[in-house]
A and B are shown apart, each in its own frame.
Chain A
Amino acid sequence: DAGVIQSPRHEVTEMGQEVTLRCKPISGHDYLFWYRQTMMRGLELLIYFNNNVPIDDSGMPEDRFSAKMPNASFSTLKIQPSEPRDSAVYFCASSLGHNNEQFFGPGTRLTVL
């Protein structure tokens, strides 16, 4: 298996633009997680899904952030409108069962100017 796949790897955009990050989990995994990593706050869970259904979105910072999982092999995290403080590395992870190892993708480095 190729592991968790994320795209794009790097994204530079201007304030106010819409940003869409994409994730393909490991085939067969039923849990998908979106994290954000910054120097100041470390790794924070934004939202996670079980069988394509959002379970906990309490980490989503504000209404500008939204996430979807239309099927078992694809998820998106959207920021609209983007702001400079959204600049971070966004990771997607997946696992088989909620108590088992989480496997992380390579991340998307987002820069909002």
Chain B
Amino acid sequence: KQEVTQIPAALSVPEGENLVLNCSFTDSAIYNLQWFRQDPGKGLTSLLLIQSSQREQTSGRLNASLDKSSGRSTLYIAASQPGDSATYLCAVRLLSGNTGKLIFGQGTTLQVKP
């Protein structure tokens, strides 16, 4: 059974710091991995989608990497800003079976202090 873990559960950093959020998964047979952002009381916003054949994806100050063999992904945020404060979730899509299904981690809640 695929399990997705995100550590740490919460993180607080000063503005301007570069930071890394971690996501690990137990079964490397994934189709792709998606990072989301969730603001309090809001829905999820898709940030980056990495296919299993890719090593990384970049969007602005965000860079997500994927090491399928070790079951890990990281989300790197450069020059963090208070507006980056939110909960970040990663989710993997299975390679076989019902491949529409996303399995989510519990998320990392980030606070960026001015």
The complex places the Cα of A91 from the Cα of B43 at a distance, in Å, of: 7
How would you classify the secondary structure of chain B's contact residues: helix, strand, loop or mixed?
strand
> In the complex the two chains form, what is the Cα distance from A44 to B36 in whole Å?
15
Binding site for B on A (CB under 8 A): 4, 31, 33, 42-45, 48, 50, 55-56, 91, 93, 95, 98-107, 109
Check A48 against B32 for contact (C-beta < 8 Å): no
Q: How far is the CA of A50 from the CA of B101 in the complex (A)?
A: 12
Cβ contacts under 8 Å, A4 to chain B: 43
Question: Given A42-B104, A45-B102, A56-B100, is A102 in contact with B46 using a C-beta cutoff of 8 Å?
Answer: yes
- Compute how far the CA of A106 lies from the CA of B43 in the bound complex, rounded to whole angstroms: 4
Residues of chain A within 8 A (CB-CB) of B105 are: 42
B22 at the interface (CB under 8 A from A): no
Q: Which residue of B lies closest to A100 (CB)?
A: B49
Which of B5-38 touch A at CB < 8 Å? 31-32, 34, 36
A107 touches B42 (CB 8 A): yes
CB distance from A26 to the nearest CB of B (A): 12
Given contacts A99-B32, A99-B93, contact A56 B104 (CB under 8 A): no
Overall SS of chain A's interface = strand
- The residue among A31, A43, A101, A109 with the most chain B CB atoms within 10 A of its own CB is A43
For the complex, give the distance between the alpha carbons of A103 and B43 in Å. Answer: 9
Residue of B43, B45, B105 with most partner-chain A CB within 10 A = B43
B79-112 residues with Cβ-Cβ distance < 8 A to A are 89, 91, 93, 98-107
Interchain CB contact under 8 A, A104 and B98: no
Distance between A39 CB and nearest chain B CB, rounded to angstroms: 10
Tell whether, in the assembled complex, residue A33 and residue B100 are in contact, meaning their CB atoms are under 8 Å apart: yes
Q: Across the two chains, which residue of chain A brings its CB closest to B100?
A: A98
A-B complex: 8 closest residue pairs judged by Cβ atoms:
A98-B100, A104-B44, A43-B104, A104-B43, A56-B98, A106-B43, A42-B106, A101-B46
Q: Can you list 8 residue pairs at the A/B interface with Cβ under 8 Å?
A: A42-B104, A44-B104, A45-B101, A48-B100, A50-B100, A99-B99, A102-B46, A104-B45
- Which single residue of chain B is at the shortest CB-CB distance from A48? B100
Query: Whole-angstrom distance between the alpha carbons of A44 and B93 in the complex?
Result: 13
Contact A55 B42 (CB under 8 A): no
